[in-house]
Amino acid sequence: MEPATVLMFGVAALASLFMAWVIGAGSSGATPFAPAVGANAISTMQAAFVVGILGFAGAVTQGGNVSEAVGRGLVDGVTLPPTGVIVVLLIGSGLMAVGIATGYPIATAFTVTGSVIGVGLALGGTPAWTKYTEVGALWLLTPFVGGGIAYGIASVLPRPSVPEARSVPVLAGLVGAVLANLEVSFLEPGGGTAAGGLRWALPFDGVAATGAISLAVGALAAVVVRWDIRRDVTGGLRRFVLALGGLVAFSAGASQVGLAVGPLLPLLSDASMVTPTAVLLGGGLGILVGSWTGAPRMIKAISQEYASLGPRRSIATLVPSFLIAQTAVLLGVPVSFNQIVVSAIVGSGLAVGGGAAVSPHKLAVTVVAWVGSFVLAFGIGYCGMTLVPLL
């Protein structure tokens, strides 16, 4: 590798680490435990510490799908050069840093996706319409699906006719069944699930075995949560909120690390000594440090300024957040955790207190920031790469 190429790769790697730090300090580090902090189940500093560790674990074990999509799936016909990677990461991290400084959650997925597409098209690439359809569908459906599920859960949990010792374990069972089917890199060569790895213990195989193991894990989770709630309702609800927050934090790392390190993947063909696993480790470390050093401000903003959350609303917020996040990881679609969690917070707030439970001004500014960040990132990326050859 030529010295100039090494230098450019080093600069791109530093920009990627800075982007990972910004993600940890912003969306990935703040949103997963914000509902738990709002429910007084954990302090802000404790949440930042735990979310950093879990985000690192998710980045290393599940970060490959989204990283590949961001690095190679958003524009056809071109490979981003080091200068393009640097432009993408500086745009994304710069806009995210503005969001952290102002307290408004800029959507990381919008900024990075917009900048990658803008830079790629400026270099002569063609739109990847199939991938855009997947990304656009998930982005558009997230507020309605996530908010709708949160609204439904928050509407049911307070009802006297549906005791929490029955309703919450049902949710725990659903989460447990999904958890058994999470694909992680270390279970089998090329990735596998816990349900798939345990099929050898059953006398039958295939979909039936996977389904049986998933039901067993879900039933175990439901039994444990039911026992805990019957023993101590308040404490049991808070512990379930913490467990959900941990799963969402893990999923956040898996999804968001791709936004930081994905643009680096096309460069690895010229840097054979660097592996995708090493890149994921570096991105996970950046998220870890960002969560520990910069996330508390955003955690406070989301947990306190959007709505006043209790344990029941937190559960209603985190269950759909976990499900949507893992769907995005499975499909390899970059998704904003700010959008996921804020949509769920709004849905649960409408169920509990109507419009009074949510700040309309804060919500409107957030939506404008989401849309504006994508348009701005696309425009800066396209214009930036058009001007670079002239400099």
The predicted structure's pLDDT at residue 120: 92
Of the candidate ranges 2-6, 59-63, 79-83, 316-320, the one whose mean pLDDT is the lowest: 2-6
CA distances to 103, 272, 276, 369 from 22, in Å: 13, 27, 21, 17
Other Cβ atoms within 10 Å of 292 Cβ, number: 18
**Which two tokens mark 344?**
């769920």
The predicted structure's pLDDT at residue 219: 95
Residue range 180-209, pLDDT digits in tens: 888 877 655 444 676 666 665 666 667 777
pLDDT at 223 over 80: yes
Residue 126, beta-bridge partner list: 76
- Element spanning 370, H or E: helix 360-387
CA-based angle 281:287:288, to the nearest 5?
85
The predicted structure's pLDDT at residue 265: 84
CA-based angle 132:71:247, to the nearest 5?
80
The predicted structure's pLDDT at residue 306: 47
201 CB contacts (<8 Å, ≥6 apart)? none
Pairing, β 75-76 against β 126-127: antiparallel
User: Of the candidates 271, 269, 94, 58, which has an alpha carbon nearest to the alpha carbon of residue 184?
Assistant: 58
**What is the Cα–Cα distance from 23 to 192, expressed in whole angstroms?**
27
The predicted structure's pLDDT at residue 22: 80
**Which two tokens mark 370?**
């989401």
The predicted structure's pLDDT at residue 188: 55
Higher pLDDT, 48 or 221: 221
**Mean local confidence (pLDDT), 315-330:** 91
What percentage of residues in the chain have a pLDDT greater than 70? 84
DSSP one-letter code for 2: -
User: Of the candidates 18, 247, 10, which has an alpha carbon nearest to the alpha carbon of residue 112?
Assistant: 18
**Which two tokens mark 367?**
């939506």
164 CB contacts (<8 Å, ≥6 apart)? 157, 229, 233, 237, 312
pLDDT at 172 over 70: yes
For the whole model, what pTM was predicted? 0.86
The predicted structure's pLDDT at residue 4: 61
| Cβ-based burial of 371 (10 A; exposed 0-12, middle 13-18, buried ≥19) | exposed
**Mean local confidence (pLDDT), 227-242:** 91
pLDDT at 311 over 90: no
The mean of the pLDDT values for the chain is 83
pLDDT at 33 over 80: no
pLDDT at 307 over 50: no
CA distances to 33, 38, 63, 102, 295 from 307, in Å: 14, 8, 31, 18, 18
Residue range 76-134, pLDDT digits in tens: 988 888 888 888 888 887 887 777 677 666 778 898 999 999 999 999 999 999 999 99
The predicted structure's pLDDT at residue 118: 93
**What is the Cα–Cα distance from 161 to 156, expressed in whole angstroms?**
9
Higher pLDDT, 50 or 310: 50
- Asked if 204 and 189 touch (Cβ cutoff 8 Å), the reply is no
Classified as helix, coil or strand, 387 is helix
Amino acid at the residue 359: S
Phi, psi of 189 (to 5 degrees): -55, 120
The predicted structure's pLDDT at residue 190: 47
Confidence of residue 157 (pLDDT cuts 50, 70, 90): confident
Residue range 252-262, pLDDT digits in tens: 898 888 888 88
The predicted structure's pLDDT at residue 304: 62
Query: Which one of 21-35, 216-230, 235-249, 355-369 scores highest in mean pLDDT?
Result: 216-230
The residue written with tokens 């990881």 in the block is: 329
Half-sphere exposure in the Cβ direction for 31 (13 Å, CA): 33
**Mean local confidence (pLDDT), 298-326:** 78
CA-based angle 13:54:109, to the nearest 5?
55
Of the candidate ranges 212-221, 283-292, 338-347, the one whose mean pLDDT is the lowest: 338-347
**Which two tokens mark 156?**
């049911």
What percentage of residues in the chain have a pLDDT greater than 90? 27
Q: Where are the beta strands (DSSP E) in 99-211?
A: 126-127
Amino acid at the residue 349: G
pLDDT at 61 over 70: yes
